[in-house]
Chain A
Amino acid sequence: MSFSIRKQGDIVVVDVEGQLIVGNRQELKQKVLDELERGERKFLIDFSQTGYIDSSGLGVLVSLSKKIREQGGELRLANLNDDLKTLFELTKLDTLFQIADTRERALESF
């Protein structure tokens, strides 16, 4: 499991590879907060290569969403598979996040 970060225009794109769970959530949080600290304001997290997400991972996404918004930024999510969509729907977090079907659509939505 790892996270890769790249810039696409003025948008920071984060790919979550493997699981986003209790054992690695802090790593994702710190990477995004570091970018926020550097002045980045637009963030896209892409889950196309993600396995499963636990409650800790969901909690980190909520936390990042709040911190980015506090700084006047935006966070978008993309490429949730059907199982991950169900997870977001069960927890009603699909109502909290802007979720795009594809990375391209998410990038266009900023």
Chain B
Amino acid sequence: MRGEARGGRGGAARRRNAVASTPSHVQRVEENASVPVPGEDTLSVEHVRLAVELDIPSDVRYIEDIVAMVTRQCAQLSYPPRHLALNVPVALTEALSNAILYGNRERPDRHVHVRAEVDRERLIVEVSDEGSGFDLETSEIDPTSPENLLREDGRGLFLMRRLMDSVERFDDRGNVIRMTLRRS
């Protein structure tokens, strides 16, 4: 069980990580997945791409560690503080909790697969679950309308769309949500 990330255009090595049953193991993957970016005085990070790919059990306690791992990758490539504190953590938490709670319905025999790839241009995160999926277009309500403002639910997909540059869904490899954020 090892995470791997490697710099180099077009050569980001990935290995599927099977995360064991406690959040502490997620942290271990993060450490393995982190590759120091060369100092800017020696090499430009312009062409570096970091990637991580892993599976987690359907348990919301893993979310914070996964978010920390992906955010750290973005920090290594100098994403702006707003992205690191708001856009990435909130949107990714929403995608993961949707996959765990609604996609996999917290079934212990189902896993969530996460793939994150980040370079100086953009972050792409894919979150896959083993559920039957949903229609992005018909699932979103407007939680800011007066009749919905007091609702306790219904803000997840809305926030993903507002905080990411694009949110797409695919079902060719299970139920996959792909989110893209341009570094700006």
- List chain A positions with a Cβ less than 8 A from chain B: 1, 19, 21-23, 51-56, 58-60, 62-63, 66, 81, 83, 86-87, 90-93, 95-96
Contact = CB atoms under 8 A, between A and B. Distances in A.
Q: Interface extent on B, as a size class?
A: 20 to 34
A62 B148 CA distance: 11
Contacts, number: 76
Interface in B81-98: 82, 85-86, 89-90, 93-94, 97
Contact of A58 (B85, B97, B155): B155
Given A52-B89, A86-B82, 7 more contacts: A22-B97, A51-B85, A55-B154, A56-B97, A83-B86, A91-B159, A92-B144
B177 interface: no
Given A23-B60, A59-B152, A54 B158 contact: no
A95 B149 CA distance: 9
A52 B151 CA distance: 20
B172 interface: no
A53 B149 contact: no
Nearest to A56: B97
A105 B38 CA distance: 46
